[in-house]
A and B are shown apart, each in its own frame.
Chain A
Amino acid sequence: MKRLNQLFQKNEKILSIYFTAGYPHLNSSKEIIIELEKNGVDLIEIGIPYSDPLADGPIIQKSSQIALENGMSLEFLLHELKDIRAEVDIPLVLMGYFNSVMQFGIEQLFKRMNEIGLDGIILPDMLIEVYEKEFCELFEEYDIKSIFLITPSTPEDRIRRIDKMSKSFIYMVSSASTTGVRETYDDNSLAYFKRIKSMNLKAPILTGFGISSKQHFDQVCEYSDGGIIGSAFIKSFKKEVPIQQSISSFVSSVKK
C-alpha cells in the first residue's frame, strides 16, 4: 500500500482525524470519510467501536457505546466501506482493540482490508512483543501497516526498536493519559516533544491524544509531522447541524 508512504513525502503538516464508526448514526462512516477528504484532511483513522476501550476517555467511550447501540460491528463496517476507494484516495487506517480483531480473525480481516484498500491498523493494546512474536509475518504478507504508539514513558531504546519496526508512521501519544480533550500542553509535554524530535527517527511522527484546537495542532506540528484529532472532532457533531456542515467548519477551524 503506497498511499501511506506517499502521504509522508509531502512537506506539509499532516492532519489526521479519528472518528468512531457508527457514530452519530449507524451508516454515517462513508459520508464522514468523503467529507473529511473533501475538506483537506490528509489521513483518516476509522475507529472500530469496542465495549471496553481501556485507552479511551469519556468522549470516545460514549461514542463507542452509542455506535454499538446503533448496531455497528466490524463486519458491518467493512461491508459499508466496500466501495469507498471509488470515492476517496487518502490513506485510511483502522483503529480498534485487539479482541475485536482476534474474534473476527486477523487474516480474514487483512484479506478484507486488501479488497477494500485500507492501508493500516492501530491496535493500542497490542504491544510490539506480541506483534513480533505472533503477527509480524501476517502483516507483511498482506502489506498492512501496523502503527505503534510511543508515550512519555517509553524508554529510548524501545523507541528506537519501534522506529525500526515501523513501516509507516509512529503514533506519539502526547501525554500520560487516555484520549480526550485537553486545555494546554505543559512543559513536560513540550520537553518530551523536543526529546523525540531530537532523536531524528526514521519513521514520520504524528502526535495525538488531547489535541482540540488550531493552537494545539500548530504546536504539535512544530515538533512532529502532524497531529491526530479524535475526541474534539467527535464532540463537534451537533444534533441540529448536518454532518457535511459540521465537518467543514471543524476542519477549517483547525487547518486555516
Chain B
Amino acid sequence: MKIKVCGLRVRENIVHVDQLEVDYIGLIFHEESPRFFSDQQLPDTMAKKIGVFVDKDFELIMNTIKEYQLKAVQLHGKESPELCRKLLKSDLEVIKAFAVDDDFEPSVLSDYSDSCSYFLFDTKTHKHGGSGKKFNWDILQSLDYSLPFFLSGGIGPEDANAIRSLRLNNLIGIDLNSRFEDAPAIKNFDKLSAFIKEIKPMKYKINEEGYYGSYGGAFIPELLYQNIQELKENYLKIMESDSFQDEFIRLLKEYVGRPSPLYFSKALSEKYGAQIFLKREDLNHTGSHKINNTIGQILLAKSLGKKRIIAETGAGQHGVATATVCAREGLECVVFMGALDVERQQPNVQKMQMLGAKVVPVESGNKTLKDATNEAIRDWINHPEETYYLIGSVVGPHPYPDMVSRFQSVISEEIKNQLKQQTGNVNSDKIIACVGGGSNAIGAYYHFLDDENVKLIAVEADGLGLETGETAATTAAGSPGIIHGSKTILMQTDDGQIVEPYSISAGLDYPGIGPVHAHLFETGRVEFIRATDDEALKAAFELTALEGIIPALETAHALAALPKLEFKEDELVVINISGRGDKDMATYQKYIESLKHPYQPPKMLTQAEHEDVNGLFIP
C-alpha cells in the first residue's frame, strides 16, 4: 500500500513527514486551496514530490515541475487525456483524479486508461476535493478499472481496518490529508505514524508485488503462470474468510494438538545461564511444524477444487504431513523425494506409503531436496489443471513464501501468549530456529519481526564446515540469484549453476533459503550462524540426556547455537523445537557406533558408568 500525504507547506513539517518513509509528498498548486504552496524552499526528500494542479496548461505545469523537481503530477480538473499523455511522455508519473459521488459515471475512466499511471478517486465537492468527507466506498467494488488507483477523500486515523477490508486488487495507495492535521497544511506526525504502522505491510513483510526488499517475485515458466495467478488472486481472500479460519483453527486444535507447549528447560537454563524455553512443535501430530502448513494449504486446495496433490520432501516430514492431510481429505497424493533421502529417512517413506501416498524417488542431481523440488515443479507443469502443488517451506514463487509464512505464524502467536502467561513478558530476548527453506524459523519470528528488541537467530547447516565446501550454509556460501521460482540467496558457481549442498540433515540439505530470509539476512534483522554435522549431533544427544527429548536432526542445529552464543542470566530465550527425532534414529545409531566407546543401553549401567556415558555424549 503506497502512502501519499498531501497538502504540505512548511519545510520542517515536510522533513518530519518524510521520516515516516511515505511514498509521496503532495504539494498543492491550486491558488484557491487553503494548502496552496508557493515560493518556498523545499528540502530533499526520500518520498517522491508530487504536484497537484487544477486545469493548468502544459507549460505552467512543466515549469513548476522543473522549479520544484517534482516526479509526479496529480490532475484534479477537467484535464484532457491528451494533456495527461503529454505529461506521461515527459517522464512523469501522472495521477488523474476523479470526483466521485453516487452518480459517478465510470465510462469516463476508459478515455484515460492509457494516458496516465494511476487513477485517484476523491469525494465530489464543488471545490475540487479537500472536503474532509468520504464518498460511498461501495461504488469501488463495482468499477472495472483498467489502472491501479489511489483512494482519497476524508480518510482518517480510524479507517485502517475499513481500508484493509476493501480487498480491491487495484487499490495501490491511499491519500492522507486534512484528517491528519493540526492546522491546514500542518500534519500531525504521531497521528500519521500510528496510522501508517497500522496500514502498511510491515517492513519485513511482503509488498504488493510479491517481494521482500529485492527478493521474492515469480520467476517461473509461462506454463505455470495461470496456476500461480490463480493462487495469487485467491489465497488471501480464502485464508481470511471466516469459514476458512474457523476450520483451520479447529483442526490445529483438535487434530494437530495445538497450542504446542512452551516448556521451560531448567537443565539447559542452568547449563547456559539464561531462561531457556523450548517451543514444542515436535509434539504436533506427525512430529513437526510442517503440519501447520499442510493443514492450511489442503483447505485452500480444496476450496480451489483441486483433486490431486503433489509435494516435495527432504526429511520426509513435509511428505508425511502432506500424505496425512490428503488421507484425511481423501485426495490423491504424490510425494517427490530425492533417492538419497528415501534411503536415509526410511521410517517416513513407510509412513507416507501407509497413508496412501505415492512416493517417487528422484534420481537427478544430488538426489536430495533440491532435485525433489525440481521434479515436483515439472510434474506441475505437466498437470496444470487438476493438480495443486503443496510446497513445504517458505520457498517458491510468490505467493507461496507469504502463504506458508502466514500458516506457520501460529507458532510465534502462541509463543507471545505463552510467554505472557508464564513469565509476564510478551517478548523474548532471543528466538533461535534452524533454517532449511525457513518455514519453522519464520513461523517462530513472525509476530516479533517488527519488535527490533527481540534478537532473532537463524542456524544454517554447515555440513563438514564451510571451508570444506561440504556445506548447506546458504547465506555464508551463497549469493543472490534465482532458485525454484524466486529471487533469493543460493549456493551457485560463478556461471550461475546451482551447487549441490551437503548436510547430515535431509531437511536442511538445500542450496537456497526462502526470499524472506534473504531479506532478513541482508537487512541484518536476523543473525545467521552455522552449525556443523558434529555440533548438531552433540546438541541432539545433549537435549536427549538433559531433558529426555530426542529432537530431529534439523532441530539439533538450532540447539547447537547454545554453546556459540552469550547470554545474560535473566534473558528469555526461545528455541523452536521444530520436530522430533524418530525419523533420525538410524543416523543417531550410526553416530553412537562411530564413537570409540561401545554404546551400552543406559539401563544396564551402574550409576558411575551412567555418568560416564553422559560424559561421552555431552561436550
Interface residues, chain A, with chain B CB atoms under 8 Å away: 50-52, 54-55, 57, 61, 65, 68, 73-75, 97-104, 124-127, 129-130, 148-151, 153-155, 158, 173, 176-178
Contact = CB atoms under 8 A, between A and B. Distances in A.
A55, A97, A101 pick with most chain B CB within 10 angstroms? A55
A220 B222 CA distance: 20
B226 interface: yes
Give me the 8 closest cross-chain CB pairs, A-B, nearest first: A103-B496, A51-B497, A149-B222, A99-B482, A73-B495, A153-B226, A55-B221, A100-B496
B492 interface: yes
A127 B222 contact: yes
Given A126-B219, A176-B382, A103 B226 contact: no
Contacts of B218: 127, 129
Contact of A153 (B223, B485, B492, B495): B223
Contacts of A57: 378
Contacts of A99: 481-483, 492, 496, 498
Given A55-B223, A149-B221, A103 B494 contact: yes
A165 B223 CA distance: 18
B225 interface: yes
Contacts of A68: 497
Contacts of B377: 54
A148 B223 CA distance: 11
B9 interface: no
Nearest to B370: A52
B201 interface: no
Nearest to B384: A176
A127 B219 contact: yes
A173 B225 contact: no
A57 B221 CA distance: 13
Contacts of B494: 103
A178 B497 CA distance: 20
Interface string B452-487: 000000000000000000000000000001111100
A100 B222 contact: no
Interface in B372-404: 374, 377-378, 381-385
B384 A52 contact: no
B370 to A, nearest CB: 7
21 contacts: A52-B374, A54-B485, A73-B495, A74-B495, A75-B495, A98-B482, A99-B483, A100-B496, A124-B222, A125-B220, A125-B221, A127-B222, A130-B217, A130-B219, A148-B222, A149-B221, A151-B222, A151-B225, A153-B223, A153-B225, A154-B226
B364 interface: yes
A98 B482 CA distance: 7
A55 B496 contact: no
A9 B139 CA distance: 51
A23 to B, nearest CB: 15
B219, B364, B483 pick with most chain A CB within 10 angstroms? B219
B222 A178 contact: no
Contact of A127 (B220, B383, B498): B220
Nearest to B500: A51
Nearest to A133: B209
Interface string B217-251: 11111110110000000000000000000000000
Contacts of A177: 223, 381-382
Given A102-B496, A151-B225, 12 more contacts: A75-B495, A99-B482, A100-B497, A103-B495, A124-B221, A127-B218, A149-B222, A153-B226, A153-B384, A153-B385, A154-B225, A176-B384
Given A102-B481, A103-B481, A130-B219, A54 B378 contact: yes
Contacts of A149: 221-223
A213 B348 CA distance: 44
B222, B378, B382, B494 pick with most chain A CB within 10 angstroms? B222
Contacts of A173: 222-223
B273 interface: no
A73 B496 CA distance: 9
A86 B225 CA distance: 40
B365 A51 contact: yes
Contacts of A50: 496-497
Nearest to B220: A125
Interface string B489-527: 000101111100000000000000000000000000000
Contact of A176 (B217, B223, B370, B483): B223
A174 to B, nearest CB: 11
Contacts of B485: 54, 125
Contacts of B220: 54, 125, 127
A68 B496 CA distance: 12
A130 B492 CA distance: 22
Contacts of B222: 124, 127, 148-151, 154, 173
Nearest to A209: B223
